[in-house]
Structure 1
Amino acid sequence: MPKALREYDWRQWLRLQPLTHAIKTARYRKIDRRFVHQPVEGDDIPGIRDAARGRHVLLTVAFDDPRCLDLQLRLTRGLVRHDLHIVADNSIGDAFARENRQICADHGAAYVRLPANPWTVKNPSRSHGAALNWMWHNVLEPAAPAAFGFLDQDLFPTQPCDPFEPLEATAFYGDLRWAGARWFLWAGYCFFRFDAVGREPLDFGLDWFAGLDTGGANWEVLYRHVDPNTVPQRPITAFAVLPGIDVRQAYCEWRGSWLHEVGLDGDLSLKAKKREAVLRLLAPALEISPGSARHGN
């Protein structure tokens, strides 16, 4: 929901921001609703729903980086306890999508090629949120899994773990982000118990006018009713993955024992060197994971 009217100061009222924000929010939601109702072709959505029903499901939104997806699927397959991994392909290029589909087949992951996303070129955060909402309305909600969790495609486990275990004591958890007095779970690592949230009008999009990035639109229906101090957390440490390079140019994160490449941050001219440095950090984990990593695009 947009900010409450009392949260706007007089300067914002003079610029008519409450009105313009309300109009834009209504327009964004109309676009999102239209996208969520777009069908897909060539993928067995009923079969994926059946496979997800009552299970522990991981979901990754893939985007134009098959090598990254291959690394994650290999590592989650070998190190992360789960029943089913679904990849929602939000890629622009069909060549990337074809490679992603084959990678999913190689690793036993379910694959969905999403419809053309109206936000992809305009706003990556809105594009990601729309992709999550498509998967929620068309796959997860009708499937009723026991639990589900979202992963950024460039987030890699490095040790054996069970990310669903905390859900035995809480309805949802993940990495907290703050926007003023509001908080939400980072869309790159968040987990939900279906019986606790499945009947809510969930929205994994953003509410930018309230400062809430992807996933933050669930503030009204989920997060505002829960004390954030009760949400399980893990340490997050930023570091420069390339020696002698400023952290802002070669930014990565350790999120607990998971390595986050943060591929869209930093100096993009260093992207190739950064990926090679990430591969060196992941080498010990890749050695104990089944299969062979692909080294394509």
Structure 2
Amino acid sequence: MRALKDYSPAEWLAAEPLAHRLRRARNLVVDQIYRRRRAPGQAELVARLKAERAPALAFTIAFNLPEAIALLADGMARFAPGLPLVVCDNSSRPEARAAIAALCAERGLAYCPLPPSPFKGGANGSRSHGVALNWVLHALIRPVAPKVFALLDHDLVPLAPVDLPALVAAQPAYGMVRHGTKFGGWFLWPGYSVFDFGAVAELPLDFGTDTPLTLDTGGQNWRVLYRRLDAAGMAQAYTRTAWIADPDTGSPEPYLLADGWLHVGGAGHRGGGAAALASVRAAYEADPDGLLDRLLETATA
């Protein structure tokens, strides 16, 4: 949240400081109400995760694309076989929830059907994602208290061996740094971020947006965590643009490559998430162990 002194006279005349604070108060109320809701099987899942005593846990927020969860699960089974994946289902379509639940049951993945989002019809995707992440933090991560936890986008896929604890052995958090467009704030993209739980356990983490600071989902953590860290002095994800040919047109399409993780994306472009997933799935199945090397040959910074 911006300090009051940072608003211009024009913004004061437009009552923007008051509007921002009222919006933030509303968001906090929505968040507090939502995080008190229970999910079916929640207690059993917490007990299961505690019993596993894994060196790290990975959490993903599923949203309406069973194919994305299938690809992420395939990649983690190959490159991170000892890393439990917890699928937290925020899907708005009942048929998608049913398909994702069945997929997780078939593969033995931990599955949690999140309470219905307070944001209906896919509206306000960033806020819905942030509220879902905060629920997972308070209902699952804090009770389980894993040594290390990661937040992964549902359409991310690893293409190389994964060692999450090593990424936060010397710092409290690791991931892909994103900067706001104004005011100097930054945050870690919650689609690829890793945390040392012991280092952040006492902090009031909040994965909501901070619109006044132009920070997207996870931006509220600027004020409680990131502003205390030196981004330039931290190890952070190395990002490039990778190119994969569209199987229908043969034209190369751009994809984000963060370290050894490929982000499918495309939910709002390239014909939608399913089309982009089909392209990446085809490339992955053709050569899962060699795909990263092939992508790096033509990747651009």
TM-score, normalising length from structure 2?
Answer: 0.87
Match of 2:203 among 200, 203, 209: 200
Q: Distance in 2 between matches of 1:102 and 1:168?
A: 36
Q: Distance in 2 between matches of 1:52 and 1:12?
A: 52
2:57–2:150 contact (8 Å) kept in structure 1: yes
Higher mean alpha-carbon deviation, 126-135 vs 93-102, is at 93-102
**CA drift at 1:168:** 1.1
Higher mean alpha-carbon deviation, 27-36 vs 156-165, is at 156-165
2:240–2:258 contact (8 Å) kept in structure 1: yes
For residues 275 and 85 of structure 1, do their structure 2 counterparts lie closer, same or farther at Cα, with a shift above 3 Å needed?
A: closer
CA offsets 1:57-114 (integer angstroms, 9 cap, x no match): 0001001111110110111122026442111000012221121112222332211000
Which AA in structure 2 matches 1:126?
R
- What stretches of structure 2 of length at least 5 have no aligned partner? 292-301
Q: Distance in 2 between matches of 1:13 and 1:75?
A: 50
Residue 282 (str. 1) matches residue 281 (str. 2): no
For residues 215 and 82 of structure 1, do their structure 2 counterparts lie closer, same or farther at Cα, with a shift above 3 Å needed?
A: farther
Match of 1:156 in 2: 157
Match of 2:298 in 1: none
Percent of aligned pairs with the same amino acid: 32
Match of 1:238 among 230, 238, 241: 241
For residues 276 and 228 of structure 1, do their structure 2 counterparts lie closer, same or farther at Cα, with a shift above 3 Å needed?
A: same
Q: Distance in 2 between matches of 1:61 and 1:274?
A: 18
TM-score, normalising length from structure 1?
Answer: 0.88
**CA drift at 1:276:** 2.7
Match of 1:294 in 2: none
1:64–1:91 contact (8 Å) kept in structure 2: yes
Query: Mapping of 1:215-234 within 5 angstroms?
Result: 215-234=218-237
Q: Distance in 2 between matches of 1:177 and 1:254?
A: 14
Which AA in structure 1 matches 2:26?
R
1:49–1:143 contact (8 Å) kept in structure 2: yes
Higher mean alpha-carbon deviation, 150-159 vs 273-282, is at 273-282
CA offsets 1:1-31 (integer angstroms, 9 cap, x no match): x211122111111101001111111011101
For residues 239 and 36 of structure 1, do their structure 2 counterparts lie closer, same or farther at Cα, with a shift above 3 Å needed?
A: same
Give the alignment's Cα RMSD to 1 decimal: 2.3
**CA drift at 1:287:** 9.6
Match of 2:269 in 1: 266
**CA drift at 1:159:** 1.5
For residues 261 and 46 of structure 1, do their structure 2 counterparts lie closer, same or farther at Cα, with a shift above 3 Å needed?
A: closer
Match of 2:79 in 1: 79
Q: Distance in 1 between matches of 2:114 and 2:289?
A: 29
- What stretches of structure 1 of length at least 5 have no aligned partner? 289-297
3-state SS of 1:41 partner: coil
1:58–1:84 contact (8 Å) kept in structure 2: yes
Q: Distance in 2 between matches of 1:203 and 1:233?
A: 20
1:132–1:204 contact (8 Å) kept in structure 2: yes
Greater relative contact order, per chain length (Cα 8 Å cut-off, separation 6+): 1
Which AA in structure 1 matches 2:153?
D
